[in-house]
Amino acid sequence: MRITHFTKTYATSEQAVAAARHRTWLSVHAQPLRQPALTVIGPKSLTFEWIEGRHAEPGDLPRLAGLLGDAHGTAWASDLRSVSLNEPHTFRDGTPFGGYLAVREVALRRRLEQGHLPDRIALHAMLTLLEKTVEGPAAFYKDSNPRNFLFTEDGTLFTLDTDDLTLAPFGYDLAKLIATLVMTYGPLGPPAIDEALSTYNEAAGRHDSRLGTTDRERLDDFLALHCVLTAPYAGRNGYRFGWPVPRPRLQGPA
């Protein structure tokens, strides 16, 4: 029998409502992201149309980078123009977005407790790096990884798993995609990463010249953060490879 629907369950009704709101917000304000149709909203579940296809691979990176840049630029022009990265935000339709800084401060402190950072000096260095990245226009973060994109046989590209959105700087979600492609398939050469960044900036910059300015140093800062933040998932969810990109030397205060 052909599968036509997929039902995702949530621990609470609040989580289901938030996931539906986030999906709706993206459909309104980030139209370049094509999502499976939401057919049924249950008390603690969402049912979507079933899409047959393959997940993203390294060769798809340029197209995905362009898609993300276009989606981030569209959302900024539509609804994020006046939003601050430093604060959580609730939009007019009731959609809650976590702030960029606070959510990741908590996660980095948890990585120390979990043993993914060697000591408090390393934690301080990563928190300092995080604070350094809190600047510029606001985009959204949707956890871009290979499993969250699906290509159909005719080349149509769908975006999956948009349950949790937070604010993030431009380029941050692209860095997550690059990091998880590497963790899934192995190393990407610098030319491939540079091409992805250029494609992302070009797509974002079409909406406003201020949006297409993520440079390689800033991208590397995001990659260093993702290296630590994704550490608990190594060996799970298809992440078979270690992170080959050199991380900045972790230093404490002078």
| pLDDT band at residue 1 using 50, 70 and 90 as cut-offs | low
The amino acid sitting at 70 is D
Is the model's pLDDT at 8 over the cut of 50? yes
Distance CA 210, CA 215 (A): 12
The predicted pLDDT at position 90 comes to: 86
Cα→Cα distances 159→23, 32, 134, 144, Å: 10, 10, 26, 9
Q: Which domains does the chain have, with CATH numbers?
A: 55-233 (3.90.1200.10)
Amino acid identity, position 13: S
| pLDDT at position 160 | 94
112: exposed, middle or buried (Cβ count in 10 Å: 0-12, 13-18, 19+) = middle
Q: In terms of C-beta density within 10 A (0-12 exposed, 13-18 middle, 19 or more buried), how is residue 246 classed?
A: exposed
Write down the pLDDT at residue 2.
Answer: 67
Mean pLDDT of 79-102: 86
Tens-place pLDDT, residues 159-192:
999 988 999 999 999 999 999 999 999 999 999 9
Whether residue 248 has pLDDT greater than 70? no
- Answer whether 4's CB lies under 8 Å from 46's CB: no
